[in-house]
């Protein structure tokens, strides 16, 4: 209990620090939010009006104070260019980002763990000689390149999958849930997920493999062998469970990393998501929107970390979080 | 004779130079001023705008041939805007562009706003051009309502600019569009000069040939808003002009023509009488009334509810309902571009919806730009159906409109990846490529391989140029600007930087607007010899390969 309270306090501190850094970072960056409006016939008074509207005519500490007060109340402000509440904008695209990220991560980690365990058993055989370079190559290939190659093959040449977007032209949905269960949505999701999965699978696979190699040398495995347990039972029930711990951490961190790093996939496949929102916001100096989007990503990151920590205790009884341990 | 002068001059110069070498204490003040500082050309990064960056490199090369040191600074757009637009004394030259918009079919915006001295401090005249003679012409054309007299004034303005060279005009780029001609009847696709085939008239008139009756078009920009009181972004305006009608529309010939107004009549120079078309209705079924029209022109002036539209209605002093079909507008002062810049621009909005909304907003800190009217009720040829953020916008044909579209639906897809857009055009996921930012040659090859795809190339109203900061010496001297401008062959710009997909330019008015364009401004004689001669006439000298100010000229600025 005390541990959880400590963790929550620590999380709040991290969020405050990130929010403050974000606030300063965007204001110190070159560029003026008015620049996004230059192409309109603006007079000096109108430009001044914009600054007042954005609250940018006030001293920095006043802006910061307002920002923090609003933030505590869950108000991230109003986007300069979209003229809509930031929370609303982020919530609109976050589900698509989460679906893309979580689907890819789950497939990548499920595959990576099984394949990693398998490859550990194949140590020294020709299978290892062929597979490891392939895994390394897909892991090292840039996402946009991989994405373009898949587009060229599976969309342009074979016509199996659409070339972009989240739904076919003209299909409309009443709610996100309705969209989520439609086959059309998953057909559009396929190529981005395959690309992201290939990119993500290398880490869990290699991690699992090296952990397995290590664990298989441990005494309890020798013990199990001496007990005459089947090889399957040794690998899956005893060794794999121990090798899994670092992979679980990597998964949690992976959620945070890929949510923010998906901008490349989102751009190649025109997939709606928070990465694209972020790029638009930063390039047009839309401070509230950029701050808000980054803050959301931070929250996802921190929460994923917290869950990983908790998960550790479940997976490995030896890890205990109390002072009693 | 001339050669003789040149030779003696050169002989004299070299003797002066020799003296200088012999006696280091002797200053050249009598003949040449101080050397000119290193010159900076601001530009977008090469990746962001490869054509303009290549142009900057070619320009830098030409100037270095005149004895200048030139540095190109490629930066992201916000940073470039910050320097050029908000720190107007701080830069020498910059690559810049003006984009084509329907309302720029009238030359007023480009002639007046870009170069009138009153807009130099914080308005559109960011180069600080100041010529009282030009100001007078720009003002005169603005209030001249006789088209032929105004045409003469617009041409005079172009000639003054050609002589003064506040900008070094480079090209009017060509835009490339494509569509599937097995889906759309080529005879029904309208090319509007300066805008290409992506325009209102195509969307209203395009006739489906087969079963596919939805037009699926693309944009590579994210949408910002769909709001009749907010000018939010280029792509957004494609949508607003379809949902909300206007009293006039810019026709395929670039001139305003009656639309929701059946006809108009100038009673005198400042009084306009407009008659509305019969039987127009809003998308919710209510009739469009004279009161609605008057409200639409009052709304932008209410407080600061619609600051972007406000300037366009400020010239209106009074509006009056004459009868159920007729209204009268009174202007503060005569305005030649009123039909284009006001009547063709202001969206007609229903008073029964926006009246209560605006009354409520007047008491709140947000303005109408931040208001999302979910129904998006207009009276235009298309009705709003759906917008899924970052993905697509769906509009349906308004069958009750007096000019009902032939297609069923108009679907705009946001496609960020140029190659994917091409793939989608071939697979039928798109059937009208309305936004193509890639290499035109790739599109041409694609059309050769696929006979269903028709390509249309069209010269832009917008233009690409290098801006001289007319405030900063030596760019405050027209002789110097002329020399630097004419040092660069325009054909080279078109051929080498824009790969032939552009036409050379020496006027802010595009040749696609033949009524306003002054064909005397081109061709111009260019090249290093022309430039050197112009520099010499202005008193500038090249000493030991370095360009110097005229006699007595001091360098007071940092690069």
Q: Pick from B208, B337, B417 the residue to mutate for testing the A interface (most A CBs within 10 Å).
A: B417
Residue written as token pair 């030359």 = B107
Same domain, A294 and A214: yes
Mutate to test the interface with A, among B79, B111, B118, B224 (most CBs of A within 10 A): B224
Whether residue A266 has pLDDT greater than 70: yes
Among A298-302, B115-119, B202-206, where is mean pLDDT lowest?
A: A298-302
Which among B75, B372, B417 has CB closest to A84? B372
Lowest mean pLDDT among A98-107, B160-169, B364-373: B364-373
| Residues contacting B290, CB < 8 A, separation 6+ | B276, B321, B323, B324, B325, B326, B327
Q: Mind listing the pLDDT tens digit for each residue in A112-127?
A: 988 888 888 888 888 8
Average pLDDT over residues B358-372: 86
CB contacts, 8 Å: A280 with chain B:
222
Domain boundaries for CATH 3.90.76.10 within chain B: 248-358
Q: Which of A244-253, B107-116, B153-162, B520-529 has the lowest mean pLDDT?
A: A244-253
The rounded distance, in Å, linking the Cα atoms of B300 and B314 is: 9
Residues of B in contact with A157 (CB under 8 A): none
For chain B, give every residue range classified as CATH 3.10.105: 2-172+461-548
B385 vs chain A: nearest CA distance in angstroms?
9
pLDDT on residue B22: 41
Query: What part of A 51-70 touches B (C-beta under 8 Å)?
Result: 53
Q: A42: pLDDT confidence band, cut at 50, 70 and 90?
A: low
Supply the CATH number for residue A96's domain: 1.10.3720.10
Provide the pLDDT confidence category of residue B499 given band limits of 50, 70 and 90.
Answer: confident
Q: Tell me which residue in B370, B414, B423 faces A83 most closely, judged by beta carbons.
A: B370
State whether residue B409 is helix, strand or coil.
Answer: strand
List of residues 6+ apart from B50 with CB closer than 8 A? none
Q: Which of B392, B442, B461 to mutate to test the interface with A (most CBs of A within 10 A)?
A: B392
Domain co-membership, A22 together with A130: no
Q: Which of A27, A28, A29, A31 to mutate to test the interface with B (most CBs of B within 10 A)?
A: A31
Q: Across the interface, do B78 and A285 touch by the CB < 8 Å criterion?
A: yes
- Residue range B131-137: mean pLDDT, rounded: 95
Closest CA to B512 of B107, B222, B18: B107
pLDDT of residue B69: 95
Do residue A172 and residue B385 have CB atoms under 8 angstroms apart? yes
- What's the rounded Cα separation, in Å, for the pair A160 and A187? 9
pLDDT tens-place string over residues B143-158: 888 889 999 999 999 9
- Whether residues A98 and A60 share a domain: the answer is no
Q: Using CA atoms, how far apart are residues B155 and B517, in angstroms rounded to an integer?
A: 7
Selected for mutation to probe chain B from A26, A40, A92, A164 (highest B CB count within 10 Å) is A164
* Phi/psi of residue B184, nearest 5 degrees: -115, 135
Question: Could you tell me how far CA B347 lies from the centroid of its own chain?
Answer: 21
Tell me if A101 is assigned to some domain.
yes
Q: What is the mean pLDDT of chain A?
A: 82
- Which of the listed ranges A27-41, A218-232, B367-381 does the model predict with the highest average pLDDT? B367-381
Q: Which two tokens stand for residue A212?
A: 């397995």
Q: Which residues of B190-227 are buried (b: 16+ CB within 10 A; e: fewer)?
A: bbbbbbbbbbbbbbbbbebeeebebbbbbbbebbbbbb
**Residue A2, CB-side half-sphere exposure with 13 Å CA sphere:** 5
In a domain, A47, yes or no: yes
Task: Answer yes or no: is A169 within a domain.
Answer: yes
Determine whether the interchain pair A167/B225 forms a contact, defined as Cβ–Cβ distance below 8 Å. Answer: no
Residue B122 makes CB contacts below 8 A (sequence gap 6+) with: A43, A44, A47
Quick one: pLDDT band at residue A317, thresholds 50, 70, 90? low
A223 and A139 inside one domain = yes
Residue B443 Ramachandran class (φ > 0 left, ψ -120 to 50 alpha, else beta): alpha
Q: What is the pLDDT of residue A1?
A: 66
Domain B175-232+381-458, CATH: 3.40.190.10
A41:B109 CB<8 A: yes
Domain with CATH 3.40.190.10 in chain B: 175-232+381-458
Q: Which of residues 178-217 of A touch B (CB under 8 A)?
A: none
Same domain, A237 and A136: yes
User: Predicted confidence band at B384 (pLDDT cuts at 50, 70, 90)?
Assistant: very high
pLDDT of B91 above 90: yes
Q: Is B392 on the interface with A (CB under 8 A)?
A: yes
- Residue A297 sits in the same domain as residue A237: yes
Instruction: Determine the distance in angstroms separating the CA of B102 from the nearest CA of chain A, rounded to an integer.
Output: 14
B230 interfacial to chain A (CB closer than 8 Å): yes
Option in B82, B124, B413 nearest A165 (CB): B413
Within-domain flag for A156? yes
Contacts of B233 in chain A (CB under 8 A): 81
Nearest CA in chain A to B429: A169
> Domain boundary at A72, A97, A123, which?
A72
The A residues from 102 to 121 touching B (CB cutoff 8 Å) are none
Domain boundary among A28, A45, A72: A72
Give the mean pLDDT of B451-474.
93
A18 in the same domain as A124: no
Q: Is residue A218 part of a domain?
A: yes
Q: A273: distance to nearest CA of chain B, Å? A: 8
B424 touches chain A (CB under 8 A): yes
Decide if pLDDT at A164 tops 80.
yes
The alpha-helical segments, DSSP class H, found in A164-323 are 176-180, 183-215, 219-227, 231-233, 240-261, 263-268, 274-283, 287-315
Please determine, for residue A227, whether its predicted confidence score (pLDDT) is greater than 90: no
Topology, domain B2-172+461-548: Dipeptide-binding Protein; domain 3 (3.10.105)
Say which of B78, B386, B430 has its CB closest to residue A30.
B78
Higher-confidence residue: A286 or A107? A107
**Residues A120 and A213 occupy one common structural domain:** yes
Residues of chain A contacting residue B423, judged by C-beta atoms under 8 Å apart: 151-152, 155-156, 163
Q: Please, which residues have CB within 8 angstroms of residue B472's CB and are 6 or more apart in sequence?
A: B89, B91, B92, B557
pLDDT at position A281: 84
Report strand pairing: B546-550 vs B39-44. Answer: unpaired
In B240-269, the residues whose Cβ lies within 8 Å of chain A are: none
In a domain, A78, yes or no: no
CA–CA gap between residue A79 and residue A71 (Å, rounded): 14
- Taking an 8 Å cut-off on Cβ atoms, the answer to whether A164 and B417 are in contact is yes
Look at residue B24 in the predicted model and tell me its pLDDT. Answer: 41
User: Considering the domain boundaries, does residue A79 fall inside one?
Assistant: no
Residue A31 is predicted with a pLDDT of: 62
**Alpha carbons B103 and A43: distance in angstroms, whole number:** 18
Say if residue A195 is in the same domain as residue A300: yes
> For residues B1 and B60, which has the higher predicted lDDT (pLDDT)?
B60
Residues A248 and A133 reside in one and the same domain: yes
> A64 pLDDT exceeds 60?
yes
Please state, in angstroms and rounded to a whole number, the distance separating the CA atoms of residues B418 and B233: 20
Q: How confident is the model at residue B14 (pLDDT cuts 50, 70, 90)?
A: very low
The pLDDT value given to residue A43? 58
What token pair was written down for A201?
């699978």
Q: Over the Cα atoms of chain A, what is R_g? A: 24
Domain that holds residue A162: 86-324
Average pLDDT, chain B: 88
Instruction: Identify the pLDDT of residue B432.
Output: 96
What pLDDT sits at residue B4?
41
pLDDT of residue B58: 95
Number of domains in chain A: 2
**Average pLDDT over every residue of A159-187:** 88
For the B248-358 domain, the top CATH level (class) is alpha beta
Same domain, A313 and A220: yes
Which stretch of A115-119, B103-107, B213-217, B293-297 has the lowest confidence by average pLDDT?
A: B103-107
User: What value does the mean pLDDT take over residues A157-172?
Assistant: 89
What's the pLDDT at B405? 97
Question: In chain A, what percentage of residues exceed pLDDT 70?
Answer: 89
Domain boundary among A50, A72, A94: A72
What does the CA dihedral A164, A166, A168, A172 come to, rounded to 10 degrees? -150
Bigger pLDDT: A314 vs B302: B302
What pLDDT is recorded for position A244? 79
Answer whether residue B20 shows pLDDT above 50.
no
- Whether A58 has a pLDDT exceeding 90, the answer reads no
If one compares A192 and A316, the residue with the highest pLDDT of the two is: A192
Residue A323 clears pLDDT 70, i.e. is over it: no
Confirm if A155 and B423 have CB atoms less than 8 A apart.
Answer: yes
Same domain, A90 and A126: yes
Rounded to the nearest angstrom, the minimum Cα separation between A30 and chain B is 6
Determine, yes or no, domain membership for A248.
yes
Question: How many angstroms away from the CA of A275 is the closest CA of chain B?
Answer: 11
**What tens digit of pLDDT does each residue of B227-275 get?**
999 877 778 889 999 999 999 999 888 888 999 999 999 999 899 999 9
Disruptive mutation site among B74, B390, B437 for chain A (greatest number of A CBs within 10 Å): B390
Highest mean pLDDT among A264-273, B161-170, B329-338: B161-170
| Nearest CB partner across the interface for A31, out of B79, B231, B307 | B79
A35·B122 Cβ contact <8 A: no
Q: How many residues does the structure list for chain B? A: 559
Q: Indicate whether A220 pLDDT > 50.
A: yes
pLDDT at B507 over 90: yes
């Amino acid at each position: 209990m005390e541990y959880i309270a400590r963790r929550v306090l620590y999380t709040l501190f991290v969020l405050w620090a990130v929010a403050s850094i974000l606030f300063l970072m965007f204001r110190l960056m070159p560029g003026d939010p008015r620049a996004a409006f230059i192409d309109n016939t603006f007079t000096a008074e109108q430009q001044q009006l914009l600054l007042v509207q954005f609250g940018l005519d006030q001293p920095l500490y006043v802006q910061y104070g307002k920002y923090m007060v609003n933030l505590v109340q869950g108000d991230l402000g109003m986007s300069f260019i979209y003229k809509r509440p930031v929370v609303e904008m982020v919530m609109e695209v976050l589900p698509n980002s989460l679906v893309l990220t979580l689907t890819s991560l789950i497939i990548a980690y499920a595959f990576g763990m099984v394949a990693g365990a398998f490859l550990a058993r194949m140590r020294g055989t020709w299978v290892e000689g062929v597979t490891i370079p392939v895994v390394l190559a897909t892991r090292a290939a840039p996402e946009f390149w991989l994405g373009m190659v898949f587009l060229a093959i599976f969309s342009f040449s074979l016509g199996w999958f659409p070339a972009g977007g989240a739904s076919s032209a003209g299909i409309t949905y009443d709610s996100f849930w309705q969209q989520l269960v439609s086959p059309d949505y998953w057909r559009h999701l396929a190529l981005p997920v395959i690309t992201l999965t290939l990119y993500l699978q290398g880490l869990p696979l290699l991690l699992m493999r090296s952990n397995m190699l290590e664990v298989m040398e441990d005494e309890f495995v020798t013990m199990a062998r001496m007990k005459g347990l089947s090889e399957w039972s040794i690998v899956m029930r005893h060794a794999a469970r121990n090798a899994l711990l670092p992979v679980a951490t990597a998964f949690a961190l992976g959620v945070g990393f890929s949510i923010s790093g998906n901008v490349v996939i989102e751009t190649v496949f025109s997939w709606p998501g928070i990465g694209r929102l972020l790029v638009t916001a930063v390039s047009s100096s839309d401070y509230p929107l950029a701050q808000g989007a980054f803050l959301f990503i931070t929250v996802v990151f921190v929460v994923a970390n917290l869950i990983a920590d908790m998960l550790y205790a479940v997976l490995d009884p030896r890890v205990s979080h109390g002072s009693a341990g | 004779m001339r050669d003789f002068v040149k030779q003696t001059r050169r002989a004299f110069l070299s003797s002066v130079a020799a003296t200088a070498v012999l006696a280091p204490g002797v200053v050249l003040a009598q003949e040449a001023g101080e050397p000119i500082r290193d010159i900076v050309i601001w530009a977008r990064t090469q990746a962001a705008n490869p054509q303009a960056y290549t142009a900057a490199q070619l320009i830098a090369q030409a100037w270095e041939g005149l004895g200048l040191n030139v540095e190109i600074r490629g930066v992201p757009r916000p940073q470039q805007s910050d320097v050029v637009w908000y720190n107007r004394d701080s830069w020498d030259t910059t690559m810049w562009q003006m984009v084509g918009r329907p309302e720029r079919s009238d030359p007023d915006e480009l002639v007046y706003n870009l170069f009138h001295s009153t807009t130099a401090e914080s308005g559109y005249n960011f180069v600080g051009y100041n010529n009282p003679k030009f100001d007078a012409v720009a003002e005169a054309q603005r209030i001249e309502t006789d088209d032929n007299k105004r045409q003469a004034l617009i041409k005079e303005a172009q000639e003054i600019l050609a002589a003064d060279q506040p900008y070094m005009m480079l090209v009017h780029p060509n835009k490339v569009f494509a569509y599937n001609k097995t889906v759309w009847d080529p005879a029904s696709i309208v090319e509007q000069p300066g805008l290409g085939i992506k325009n209102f008239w195509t969307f209203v008139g395009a006739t489906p040939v087969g079963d596919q009756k939805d037009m699926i078009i693309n944009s590579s920009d994210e949408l910002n808003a769909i709001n009749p009181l907010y000018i939010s972004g280029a792509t957004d305006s494609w949508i607003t002009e379809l949902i909300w009608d206007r009293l006039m529309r810019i026709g395929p010939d670039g001139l305003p023509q009656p639309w929701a107004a059946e006809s108009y009549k100038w009673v005198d120079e400042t009084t306009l009488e407009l008659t509305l078309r019969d039987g127009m209705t809003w998308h919710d079924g209510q009739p469009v009334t004279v009161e609605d029209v008057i409200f639409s022109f009052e709304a932008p002036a209410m407080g600061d509810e619609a600051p972007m539209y406000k300037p366009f209605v400020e010239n209106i002093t009074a509006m009056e309902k004459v009868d159920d079909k007729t209204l009268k507008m009174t202007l503060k002062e005569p305005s030649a571009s009123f039909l284009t810049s006001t009547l063709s621009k202001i969206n007609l909005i229903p008073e029964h919806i926006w009246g209560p909304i605006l009354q409520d907003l007047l008491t709140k800190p947000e303005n109408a730009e931040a208001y999302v009217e979910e129904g998006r009720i207009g009276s235009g040829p298309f009705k709003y159906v759906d917008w899924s953020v970052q993905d697509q916008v769906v509009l349906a044909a308004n069958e009750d409109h007096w000019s009902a579209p032939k297609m069923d639906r108009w679907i705009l897809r946001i496609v960020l990846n140029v190659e994917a857009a091409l793939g989608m055009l071939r697979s039928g996921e798109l059937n009208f490529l309305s936004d193509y930012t890639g290499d035109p040659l790739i599109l041409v090859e694609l059309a050769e391989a696929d006979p269903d795809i028709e390509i249309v190339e069209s010269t832009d109203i917008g233009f690409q140029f290098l801006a001289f900061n007319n405030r900063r010496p030596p760019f405050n001297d027209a002789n110097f600007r002329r020399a630097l401008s004419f040092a660069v062959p325009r054909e080279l710009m078109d051929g080498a930087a824009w790969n032939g997909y552009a036409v050379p330019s020496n006027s802010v008015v595009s040749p696609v607007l033949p009524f306003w364009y002054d064909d005397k401004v081109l061709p111009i004689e260019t090249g290093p010899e022309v430039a050197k001669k112009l520099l010499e006439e202005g008193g500038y000298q090249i000493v030991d390969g370095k360009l110097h100010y005229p006699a007595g000229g001091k360098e007071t600025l940092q690069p």
